[in-house]
Structure 1
């Protein structure tokens, strides 16, 4: 089961399959992919993804990982998280192994609880992750960490992950929700543009999509609201227009 809610502009998507330590099967991957646009449509301006119980996500369900359709469902879900038009925070409340680490790095920011652990032990079982996963790990935590996880199949605890940049903040679910609540007050068009540039490093500076997103910020009502709020010495109220 995946539970979904939106409160004060913050969407919460929770993997709740505790009997399998929140492992992902085809059904849950598809539901996760559906949940992201669902909470955005319900007004979420930031999203928290987390796991129920003591695990964030223990990885792929080995009852299905070798079957037809699993990889497509998994990467569709990860793409939905990465392409969300609002910031996504992973509240890593426990082990995030294999597909769990992939889900965490698909998010824009990661908040790690004391019990958070990351690992991608594919070389021990003969599987492989896609190039995006390898490059994203390197981008977030550096080549040394990526090699430790992928070649040595090491597991990295939260303090080490924080020191290496894989985790952005230390804290529990409440800390992740507080971060998301702060993000939900920021200018949506600016956040969307920043996220687009960060996630699409392959696009040249003159790409029409980038330029359109950039100009949308400068021509927005939110820009004017920011000016008014600064002059009036108050917090701005952005609408994403």
Structure 2
């Protein structure tokens, strides 16, 4: 039996591939746990400086494994997976202090779209589509979609996408900002995401992590809250070797070499 998650390390870039292609990488408990644990490990791995999240086969991820869900319907708490798995997974991905690029080839639906939206950047191709599928199966949103989607497309558009549950194809997703880059061919999606990750992996990793922290707090707090977070972030990044290196490089008119510390 193949592993539900594949993890590949290459020069600072870690490619994490959901590996259930026969079910379009639907999320069963084993895959959710593997994703959560992997993100937590990568957060503390100094060799990891950027992450690519991808799906094996022709789809990114179509969300909850409904076959597993149906088997749990006979129990008293079939949706305890939100508390046990989806919420911890969402936090582990959102708080990962390294840039995360989602390589969204094919459909991303429900919680699968949620994982893409929690990533910092998203690369798609002609077959890419997003579907807020929750209402189609009589459920509310999870995997932080109620938090990420309004911030990406605005409250009115988020309500439309969630309530009507109509698919958003690649060109429209790019126009709405759901995709950062749109490759001309599906086979270019993963290489394009890995190229973007390699560029970020060569940058100031600590500063990227602090920028992500600022963005998590800045959209929801007051101006005073944001300024306090920025103060702490600047103090943390300002004491790094990468900041000293970049300052010296600027003064001496050379290209900085970042080490991620």
TM-score after normalising by structure 1? 0.92
Contact 2:86/2:143 (8 A) holds in 1: no
Contact 2:203/2:259 (8 A) holds in 1: no
Deviation per residue, 1:3-23 (Å, 9 max, x gap) = 001101001000010111100
Counterpart for residue 34 of structure 2: 31
CA RMSD across the alignment: 1.8
1:79 to 78, 91, 103: 91
Contact 2:111/2:142 (8 A) holds in 1: no
1:70 to 76, 81, 87: 81
Which stretch shifts more, 72-81 or 211-220? 211-220
3-state SS, counterpart of residue 60 of structure 2: coil
Q: Aligned partners of 2:157 and 2:104: how far apart in 1?
A: 18
Deviation per residue, 1:132-156 (Å, 9 max, x gap) = 4123101112234312310111110
Counterpart for residue 117 of structure 1: 129
Shift of 1:182: 0.6
Deviation per residue, 1:190-239 (Å, 9 max, x gap) = 211111111123341244x5432221222322222002222444332223
- Stretches of structure 1 that go unaligned for 5 or more consecutive residues are none
Counterpart for residue 47 of structure 1: 51
Counterpart for residue 246 of structure 2: 226
Shift of 1:189: 2.0
Counterpart for residue 205 of structure 1: 226
Contact 2:49/2:260 (8 A) holds in 1: no
Shift of 1:58: 1.1
Q: Aligned partners of 1:153 and 1:138: how far apart in 2?
A: 15
Q: Aligned partners of 1:89 and 1:100: how far apart in 2?
A: 14
Q: Aligned partners of 1:26 and 1:206: how far apart in 2?
A: 39
Say whether 1:183 aligns with 2:200: yes
Q: Aligned partners of 1:159 and 1:64: how far apart in 2?
A: 33
Contact 2:97/2:206 (8 A) holds in 1: no
Shift of 1:42: 6.0
Q: Aligned partners of 2:143 and 2:51: how far apart in 1?
A: 25
3-state SS, counterpart of residue 205 of structure 1: helix
Task: Count the aligned residue pairs.
Answer: 240
Say whether 1:236 aligns with 2:256: yes
Shift of 1:130: 3.9
3-state SS, counterpart of residue 96 of structure 1: strand
Shift of 1:29: 0.4
